[in-house]
Structure 1
Amino acid sequence: MISFNYETDFQLHQEDLYENWIADVIDSEGKTQGEINYIFCDDEYLLQKNIEFLNHDTLTDIISFDYTMGNLISGDIFISVERVQENAKEYNVNFEEELRRVMAHGVLHYCGYKDKNENDSLLMRNKEDEKMLLFHVKQ
């Protein structure tokens, strides 16, 4: 089950489209969909999570808590809508594209992809690009 939760005024349009897309992302990696919870929030909310759970006093666009067991993909993905908006401006892309990239990024972590070094980051970016194309097929 994929669910969308809101701790801010933001509301994802066409939730069913995003739900089907995330399911396709998981399936395309040969994994099984478990319970994925997206929590959309603001910077302050996510900063508190970052301090409380990761001991990081910095703003971030995403924090994911991975509950994956084997090939059953599960977890909670917290996304700061404010950070996504700022990053979209910085990278000169529209908000929806940057949001999809971040949403895919969280699930790709659960599928085993990392981004702590340059090679892993490059593979992660390529996987994000690949998975974002799956969304366009759905439109």
Structure 2
Amino acid sequence: MIIFNYESDFKLVNEEFYSKWITNAILNEGFEVGEINYIFCDDAYLHQLNVEFLAHDTLTDIISFDYSIGKLISGDVFISIERVKDNANDLNISFDLELPRVVIHGILHYCGYKDKTTSDAVMMRKKEEQYMFLLS
């Protein structure tokens, strides 16, 4: 089950569409959907989590807490809408293009993809693009 929560004024336009898209990505990666909570928030909210739980005093667009067991994907995905907007602006792309990339990024981490090394980041980006292509 995928649940969308809001800690800011932002509201996802089509939750059902996103839920099906995320579910299909998880199934395509060979996993099952457990309980996944997306929490859309602002920079201050996500910064506090970053400091409190990860000891990182920086802004970020996404923090995900993975509760997956075996092939059952579960977790909490926190996304700063402010950061996604700023990143989209910095990348000279639309918010509507950047948001789904961040949304699927958290799921890809749960499926075992990493992004700390250059080669891992390249693979993560390829996977993001693969699932972004399915949106069009």
For residues 32-66 of structure 1, the C-alpha deviation after alignment (integer angstroms, 9 at most, x for no partner) is 01111000000000000000000000000000000
Count, aligned residues? 136
| 1:104, distance to aligned residue in structure 2 (A) | 0.4
Q: Which runs of 5+ in 2 are unaligned?
A: none
Residue 83 of structure 1 corresponds to which residue in structure 2? 83
TM-score by length of 1: 0.96
Residue 131 of structure 1 corresponds to which residue in structure 2? 131
Residue 134 of structure 2 is aligned to residue 120 of structure 1: no
8 Å CA contact 1:5, 1:37 repeated in 2: yes
Residue 66 of structure 1 corresponds to which residue in structure 2? 66
| 1:135, distance to aligned residue in structure 2 (A) | 2.1
Q: What is the letter of the counterpart of residue 92 of structure 1?
A: N
TM-score by length of 2: 0.99
8 Å CA contact 1:25, 1:134 repeated in 2: no
- The separation in 2 between residues aligned to 1:134 and 1:24, in whole angstroms, is 10
CA RMSD of aligned residues (A): 0.6
Residue 46 of structure 1 corresponds to which residue in structure 2? 46
Residue 2 of structure 1 corresponds to which residue in structure 2? 2
Matches within 5 A, 1:95-114: 95-114=95-114
Q: What is the letter of the counterpart of residue 131 of structure 1?
A: Y
Q: Which runs of 5+ in 1 are unaligned?
A: none
- The separation in 1 between residues aligned to 2:103 and 2:72, in whole angstroms, is 18
Residue 93 of structure 2 corresponds to which residue in structure 1? 93
Residue 33 of structure 1 corresponds to which residue in structure 2? 33
- The separation in 1 between residues aligned to 2:86 and 2:62, in whole angstroms, is 13
Residue 21 of structure 2 corresponds to which residue in structure 1? 21
Q: Percent identity?
A: 61
- The separation in 2 between residues aligned to 1:135 and 1:28, in whole angstroms, is 14
Give the secondary structure class of the aligned counterpart of 2:56: coil
- The separation in 2 between residues aligned to 1:53 and 1:77, in whole angstroms, is 14
